[in-house]
Chains A and B, each alone.
Chain A
Amino acid sequence: MIAADVILCVLTLAAAVAAVVVRGLLSAIILVGVVSLFASYLFLRMGAPDVAMTEAAIGSALSTVIFLVALRRTRRKS
């Protein structure tokens, strides 16, 4: 299980760096959601199910959608 944790840590970091580097805003938003999803699993593994639930529900679901809505609205305007 430690190996799985290490792999997930590396994937989380990779997704975070990719979210900064990637060109398209849509891809960046999805990558930020992916970071939250991986992070919530890591929180669960570290024995913090409360934090994991919050991260999964708010980080990867609600804030991703809010970012998507904001992206769509700003794009229409310009």
Chain B
Amino acid sequence: MIGRVVTVAVLVGLAVVSWQIVAGGTPAELGDVSRHYVERGVIENRASTLVTSVVVNYRGLDTLGEVAVLFLSVSGVAFVLRRFHGEPSAPPTPSSEIVRTGARLLVGPMLLFGIYIFVHGHLTPGGGFQGGAVIASAVLLLLLAERDRPLPHAFLSWLESTSGAGFVIVGLVGLAVVGSFLANRGVAGLGEWNRLFSAGVIPIVYTLTGLKVGSELATLLDIMMRGERKEGGR
């Protein structure tokens, strides 16, 4: 009874607070920093989308932090589920013919589409995180279809750490050459607007992010599914 009263009170309080936020409306004027981003973002970085310009250049340090958070959560899952590794695995139930044939058809295009998303991050919507998630979906389909196929863990781990280190190195090069971490102008040629090789370091950073996110999520899925497989064999 008391719990229910408290729940209703909290909900009413939340509603009042949210109503005040919504009723205030959106401010008519942008702040100084926001106006600079909106007006100069596309021109300064020669990226075709403003979102990319903000995420990779102006807020690049935040993106590095997000990648680090993802890395830590995958490490946590691997640590918690580690005890399933040493147990002998029973042969898993094979997937149906439909799943296997569909996976064989779809995994290639899905991987290619994921790579396309992060390589064209500065030209079209999407970027490292989205491309990495699509790649992880392709790996998930592969795991569902051929459950006894081992993933190349040494390669994935190498890819993950190399791309993570590459991200930091790109940032440090900016610090050394121009004097600000992850600087874009003055570090690499900006190139012609709306071309594949343009926008300075943005495509490099997005490619590294995509590879890192993709390999991390693929490892995470494999750890979880393999644990389940061994559990199912008992």
Contact = CB atoms under 8 A, between A and B. Distances in A.
Given A50-B49, A57-B130, A61-B137, 6 more contacts: A50-B126, A53-B134, A57-B137, A58-B133, A62-B221, A66-B224
B133 A57 contact: yes
Contact of B228 (A50, A54, A69): A69
Interface of A: 49-50, 53-54, 57-58, 61-62, 65-66, 69-70, 72-73, 76
B133 A50 contact: no
25 contacts: A49-B125, A49-B126, A50-B49, A50-B51, A50-B125, A53-B117, A53-B126, A53-B133, A54-B129, A54-B133, A57-B134, A57-B136, A57-B137, A61-B133, A61-B137, A61-B140, A62-B133, A62-B137, A62-B140, A62-B217, A65-B221, A66-B221, A66-B224, A73-B227, A76-B231
Nearest to B217: A62
**Which has the most chain A C-beta neighbours within 10 Å: B133, B224, B225?**
B133
A53 B130 contact: yes
B140 A65 contact: yes
The secondary structure that dominates the B interface is: helix
B132 to A, nearest CB: 9
A59 B127 CA distance: 17
The secondary structure that dominates the A interface is: helix
B42 to A, nearest CB: 15
Contacts of B76: none
Nearest to A44: B125
B102 interface: no
Contacts, number: 46
Nearest to B227: A73
Nearest to A72: B228
Given A54-B133, A61-B137, A69 B225 contact: yes
B232 interface: yes
A72 B232 CA distance: 9
Contacts of A50: 49, 51, 125-127, 130
A69 B140 contact: no
A77 B232 CA distance: 10
Interface in B125-169: 125-127, 129-130, 133-134, 136-137, 140
A70 B134 CA distance: 21
Contacts of A62: 133, 136-137, 140, 217, 221
A54 B129 CA distance: 7
Interface string B201-234: 0000000000000000100010011011001100
